[in-house]
Structure 1
Amino acid sequence: MAPYIARPGQINAWDNEDFVKAVKATGRKQLIIAGVVTEVCVAFPALSALAEGFEVFVVTDASGTFNELTRQSAWSRMEAEGAQLMTWFGVACELHRDWRNDIEAWGRCFPTIFQTIVT
């Protein structure tokens, strides 16, 4: 589980030294990012991470915003800088890699996810 990093006021999580240290301490160069507000919570750290050489995957249907224009503008901006836009299912399948891997866990997770989406 990722640690909680308190931010005293920075809007862009990447402007918080503790946050960046925690990300870099993982040793990973690929980031999967989702957030409450796409054009801020997702776009700002995604653009900052891209500028520092990280590969960024934005989970488009796990992030929200206020309207379609704002959503499309944020996606276009991130994509233009090199972010890869994906859905939660695409990310999940890419991480899972093979349907034979822990299929029982998949079976337990899907009813919960689909129930949440449908209701």
Structure 2
Amino acid sequence: MPLAYKRLDTENCVFLFVDHQSGLIQLVRDFEPHEFKTNVQGLARVANYYKAPSILTTSFETGPNGPIVKEITDTLPDAPLIRRPGQINAMDNEDFVNAVKKTGKKQVVISGVLTEICVAFPALSLIEQGYDVFVVTDCSGTFAEHTREAAHKRMAAAGCQLLNWAAVAAELHRDWRRDIAGFGAIWRDHIPGYWCLMQSYDMAGKAQQGGQ
């Protein structure tokens, strides 16, 4: 019996940004700094574009972990920010758990720093509680590729789906014809080389209009 294809649905998903903090992000070594920043900003724009509920959280931000990076709060200014006083697993924090439940969504799109801790721990807890969990691999960073791979295997074995931020965007969008300009603008700004494709598309459109 083949497994059912559980595709992301704009009406049933919540985005969780876990511990993208200024101190912790300095530990990310499995992505180049600019690449990681671009990916995370892209995912935040996707959440904002689809008007999906988003929840931000930090762990012990008064300590070395630092505050959440402003690029996320600038893009998602209305998203609640749960400041955990010390719990490492965000799902051990009652305020965070209640914020997730309050959305009423059963699909969870999660990303964070560090992958094997701040992402894996709540992802496994969410699976245990019956949520469908989608881990955004290129918006979650850690010490090294081998620690990332171990975390991915652990989460996949538990039933988490692993995908990158562009796949999240595309699966939610379903059809380019819904909004070429708006959807394409996110890809243009956050996928290397896509700005050239959008320029070609724009120029072709202008040429067609001029020839009419």
TM-score by length of 2: 0.53
1:14: which partner in 2? Answer: 91
Bigger RCO of structures 1 and 2 (CA < 8 A, at least 6 apart): 2
2:122: which partner in 1? Answer: 45
Task: Tell me the alpha carbon deviations over residues 70-89 of structure 1, each in whole angstroms, 9 at most, x when there is no partner.
Answer: 00110000001000011111
Larger Rg: 2
| 1:80 aligns with one of 151, 154, 157 | 157
| 2:145 aligns with one of 42, 60, 68 | 68
SS at the partner of 2:149? Answer: helix
State the alpha-carbon separation in 2 of the partners of residues 114 and 90 from structure 1: 12
- Give unmatched runs, 5+ long, in structure 2: 1-77, 193-212
1:29: which partner in 2? Answer: 106
| Letter in structure 1 aligned against 2:85 | P
Is 1:110 matched up with 2:187? yes
State the alpha-carbon separation in 2 of the partners of residues 2 and 76 from structure 1: 30
Matches within 5 A, 1:87-106: 87-106=164-183
- Give unmatched runs, 5+ long, in structure 1: none
SS at the partner of 1:107? Answer: helix
Alignment coverage as a number of residue pairs: 115
Is 97-106 or 27-36 further displaced after alignment? 97-106
State the alpha-carbon separation in 2 of the partners of residues 98 and 2 from structure 1: 27
